[in-house]
């Protein structure tokens, strides 16, 4: 792959102008004065973040009892939110790593913001495993370390696997995101007018000069990280699904969960990327970089993954019946027909029916429709996790302990708060960091290949 500096040096004036255009447009977002739409958006997401702070204070001082969790449904919205956010955090790595390895050039316009979104989603997800514990101040016991109790964590527990899967994923994603950003940070540094911005971006750019040697190492490191992250796309949500799949509960104990969860995660991840990027490309004037065809490509992926998820719903029910396991069969009948049928049908209609609209071209190109459908898909994916967790636990083997989960206002506030955290981080990113991988976009733009062959 040609590095942009080489390409720029060797191409004709027209190509240079295009490259400068890209740089101008992307840098403008970070360097120009704050646009008008940003402050209200930031204010609202800060208010939501405040909900998180308040609800966490109440949670830590009072106990898990502020939520609706109970002795029948030990997990409810807390783990639902966790799996929901972790799922969303899948698109970034998929776009960055897997599509990179498959040389899908259209990824370059969205990969930076998708990665950022991944990291913020993982941050929003990562708080739940800690805050959902009854004594979060002892959560560090899950990290293996020598101690005066002579105790180690139990590695048979899927929750332990989660600890490693998620921390590895978070670390790799952050490295990947940051490393990919270094050349663009250097660009911002060079274009910044104020001294504090120059120094700030300069520190973050780690002394990037754009020399051939630096480019060479950069590309190598990027490839290695991409290769390292690829298995993570599959592993993280597989491990998360083990939380359920390795239990003995009917409705959880299912071998289909790992692929089903991964497909669902990519599904919801793309839905969230589209939800964020479609408005962003309008607001930041990046329509010529994040092209319509890119949005369409994402919609097509959503059709594919939506069908996979729909297939999984069908297989689940079929296997529940076919297995002859009475408990399993009841759990699924109850899921569809019982007290939680509203949640089940919300899930099916949002996840299976809604993406079918993307077969229609107009639904893929009209930004309003795309965002609307993507939000519905995200709602559906939240319900999917809720259905798995709450309906399965509601009616287990002992009818003497059957129950129904009702959320409290603190459940709702915590959930809203996690959105606050996510949006606040994303808005900060959109304001101060290069939202699009300029270097990569230039490398794959037709002008880069117009001159002599640089490969």
Tell which positions 122-141 bind other proteins, by CB under 8 A. 132-136, 138-139, 141
Q: Write each residue from 415 to 444 as x if it is in contact with other proteins (CB under 8 A), else as -, in one continuous string.
A: ------------------------------
Q: Which residues contact 66 (CB under 8 A, 6 or more apart)?
A: 55, 58, 59, 408, 410
Which stretches of 192-252 are DSSP H helices?
195-204, 212-245
Q: Cβ of residue 190: shortest distance to other proteins, in angstroms?
A: 5
Supply 438's token pair: 């300029």
Taking a C-beta distance cutoff of 8 angstroms, is the pair 294, 110 a contact? yes
In this chain, which stretch among 14-22, 313-321, 327-335, 355-363 interacts with other proteins, using CB under 8 A?
A: 327-335
Which listed residue (98, 256, 336, 428) binds other proteins by CB under 8 A? 336
- Map the footprint of other proteins across residues 351-370, applying CB under 8 A: none
- Map the footprint of other proteins across residues 185-204, applying CB under 8 A: 189-190, 195, 198-199, 201-203
* Helix, strand, coil share of the chain (percent; to 5): 75, 0, 25
- Tell which residue, 440, 412, 453, 446, has the closest CA to residue 219: 440
Q: How far is CA 162 from CA 244, 284, 387, in A?
A: 12, 37, 21
Which of 197, 449 has the CB closer to other proteins? 197
Q: Cβ of residue 394: shortest distance to other proteins, in angstroms?
A: 8
71 near other proteins (CB under 8 A): yes
Q: What is the DSSP string of 319-342?
A: HHHHT--HHHHHHHHHHHHSTTHH
Q: What is the dihedral sign for C-alpha 128, 134, 140, 141?
A: negative
Characterise 150 by phi-psi region: left (phi > 0), alpha (psi -120 to 50), beta (else): left
Q: Write each residue from 75 to 104 as x if it is in contact with other proteins (CB under 8 A), else as -, in one continuous string.
A: x-----------------------------
What whole-number distance in Å separates Cα of residue 169 and Cα of residue 187?
28
Q: Cβ of residue 141: shortest distance to other proteins, in angstroms?
A: 5
Which listed residue (40, 148, 452, 455) binds other proteins by CB under 8 A? 148
151 near other proteins (CB under 8 A): yes
Q: Write each residue from 206 to 225 as x if it is in contact with other proteins (CB under 8 A), else as -, in one continuous string.
A: -x-x----------------
- Map the footprint of other proteins across residues 387-416, applying CB under 8 A: 393, 395-404, 406
Taking a C-beta distance cutoff of 8 angstroms, is the pair 165, 236 a contact? yes
Which listed residue (38, 58, 70, 366) binds other proteins by CB under 8 A? 70
Which of 106, 169 has the CB closer to other proteins? 169
- Map the footprint of other proteins across residues 229-268, applying CB under 8 A: 243, 246-249
Taking a C-beta distance cutoff of 8 angstroms, is the pair 129, 166 a contact? yes
What is the phi/psi pair of residue 246, to 5°? -90, 0
338 near other proteins (CB under 8 A): yes
Q: Report the Cα–Cα distance between both ends of the chain, in Å, rounded.
A: 6
In this chain, which stretch among 73-81, 265-273, 288-296, 427-435 interacts with other proteins, using CB under 8 A?
A: 73-81
Q: Cβ of residue 196: shortest distance to other proteins, in angstroms?
A: 10
32 near other proteins (CB under 8 A): no
- Tell which residue, 155, 158, 162, 151, has the closest CA to residue 129: 162
């Amino acid at each position: 792959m040609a590095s942009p500096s080489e390409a720029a040096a060797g191409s004709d004036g027209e190509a240079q102008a295009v490259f400068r255009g890209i740089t101008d447009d992307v840098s403008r977002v970070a360097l120009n004065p704050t646009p008008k739409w940003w402050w209200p958006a930031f204010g609202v997401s800060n208010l939501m973040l405040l909900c998180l702070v308040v609800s966490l204070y109440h949670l830590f001082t009072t106990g898990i009892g502020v939520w609706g969790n109970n002795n029948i449904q030990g997990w409810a919205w807390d783990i639902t939110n966790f799996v929901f956010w972790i799922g969303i955090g899948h698109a970034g790595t998929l776009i960055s790593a897997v599509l990179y390895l498959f040389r899908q050039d259209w990824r370059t316009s969205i990969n930076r913001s998708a990665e950022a979104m991944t990291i913020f989603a993982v941050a929003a997800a990562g708080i739940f495993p800690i805050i959902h514990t009854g004594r979060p101040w002892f959560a560090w016991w899950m990290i293996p370390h020598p101690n005066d109790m002579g105790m180690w964590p139990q590695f048979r527990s899927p929750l332990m696997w989660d600890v490693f899967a998620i921390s590895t994923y978070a670390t790799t994603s952050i490295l990947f995101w940051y490393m990919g950003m270094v050349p663009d940070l250097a660009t911002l540094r060079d274009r910044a007018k104020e001294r504090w911005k120059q120094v700030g971006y300069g520190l973050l750019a780690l002394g990037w000069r754009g020399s051939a040697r630096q480019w060479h190492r950069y590309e190598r490191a990027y490839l290695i990280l991409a290769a390292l992250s690829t298995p993570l796309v599959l592993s993280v949500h597989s491990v998360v699904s083990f939380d359920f799949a390795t239990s003995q509960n009917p409705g959880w104990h299912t071998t289909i969960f790992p692929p089903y969860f991964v497909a669902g995660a990519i599904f919801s991840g793309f839905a969230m990327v589209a939800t964020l990027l479609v408005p962003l490309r309008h607001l930041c004037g990046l329509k010529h970089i994040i092209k319509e065809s890119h949005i369409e490509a994402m919609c097509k992926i959503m059709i594919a993954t939506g069908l996979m998820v729909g297939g999984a719903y069908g297989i689940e029910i079929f296997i529940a019946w076919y297995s002859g396991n009475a408990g399993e069969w009841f759990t699924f009948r109850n899921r569809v027909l019982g007290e939680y049928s509203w949640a089940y049908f919300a899930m099916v209609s949002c996840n299976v029916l809604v993406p079918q609209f993307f077969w229609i071209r107009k639904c893929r190109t009209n930004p309003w429709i795309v965002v609307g459908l993507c939000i519905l898909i995200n709602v559906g994916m939240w319900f999917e996790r809720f259905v798995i967790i709450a309906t399965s636990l509601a009616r287990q083997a002992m009818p003497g302990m059957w129950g129904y989960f009702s959320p409290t206002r603190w459940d709702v506030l915590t959930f809203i708060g996690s959105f606050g955290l996510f949006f606040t981080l994303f808005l900060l990113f959109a304001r101060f960091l290069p939202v699009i991988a300029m270097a990569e976009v230039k490398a794959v733009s037709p002008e880069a290949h117009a001159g002599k062959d640089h490969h």
